Amino acid sequence: MKIALKFIGTMGVLFFTSQVASALEFIVHESVGQNHISSTELKNFYEGNATTWNNGTKVQPKLKDFSTDEGKTFLSEVIGKSSRQYQKSWMSKELSGEGTIPGQLNSDKEMLDFVKSNKGAIGFVKDGSSLPSGVKRMVVKFDGSAEENFKKMVKLTCGLPDSEIEQKATKGRTGNIFKYHICIEPELDLGSGCKIYCSK
């Protein structure tokens, strides 16, 4: 019986692990004035509802190929649509002249090169990628409470399963949620190789 339960438990962990999203972080060209962006604003940029940064520069969003782990995470965690739905909604906009779908790139190198050489560019790469000069990290602020923002950020940046995110979402004045919320340091190390970034 114990062995059976252990087996079921192990399978459960394996199943859970297989559901883990890939980690990614957003990057922008250095000309972009702001260091953080709301998840709504980010979604609007990638859905063509907003086309300029606060400083008037044209937004040039780029995507990772939808077959990559980052592409999949982007769609599920930021856009909330399947790749078919996302492409279909853009086709509708394109055929009425409202804009064109952001181009897709296959690798982090291509993404970094694009963002570095295009004013107003925004894209995403695997979490922990080293950023060349001319490219800076863009912190995403999710709508909702500090706890929700923390959990979504951990999911996006570290790709941890929900059970682990719950463990890291410690509360109180010494807890991770508060530390991240007030952003004393721009980088918060949550252990197990998971670092999240904040911006005041």
167 binds other proteins (CB under 8 A): no
Q: Which two tokens stand for residue 25?
A: 């972080």
Max alpha carbon distance in the chain (Å)?
65
CA distance 164 to 158: 11
Nearest residue (CB) to other proteins, 100 versus 192: 100
Q: Which two tokens stand for residue 102?
A: 């952001």
- Can you tell me which of 65, 69, 94, 113 binds other proteins, judged by CB under 8 A? 94
Nearest residue (CB) to other proteins, 94 versus 170: 94
In contact, 171 and 141? CB cutoff 8 Å: no
Least distance to other proteins from the beta carbon of 72, Å? 15
Nearest residue (CB) to other proteins, 38 versus 192: 38
Question: What SS3 class is residue 184?
Answer: coil
Amino acid type, 8: I
CA distance 136 to 121: 11
CA distance 158 to 138: 15
Least distance to other proteins from the beta carbon of 160, Å? 24
92 binds other proteins (CB under 8 A): yes
**Could you say which residues in the range 22-41 bind other proteins, by CB under 8 A?**
40-41
Q: How many alpha carbons lie under 13 Å from residue 37 in its C-beta half-sphere?
A: 26
- Can you tell me which of 88, 167, 185, 192 binds other proteins, judged by CB under 8 A? 88
CA distance 74 to 88: 17
**Could you say which residues in the range 112-141 bind other proteins, by CB under 8 A?**
118, 120
- Can you tell me which of 1, 4, 5, 95 binds other proteins, judged by CB under 8 A? 95
Nearest residue (CB) to other proteins, 10 versus 92: 92
Least distance to other proteins from the beta carbon of 70, Å? 20
Question: What SS3 class is residue 112?
Answer: helix
In the complex, which residues of this chain contact other proteins (CB under 8 A)? 40-41, 43-44, 47, 49-52, 56-59, 80-85, 87-89, 91-92, 94-100, 118, 120, 143
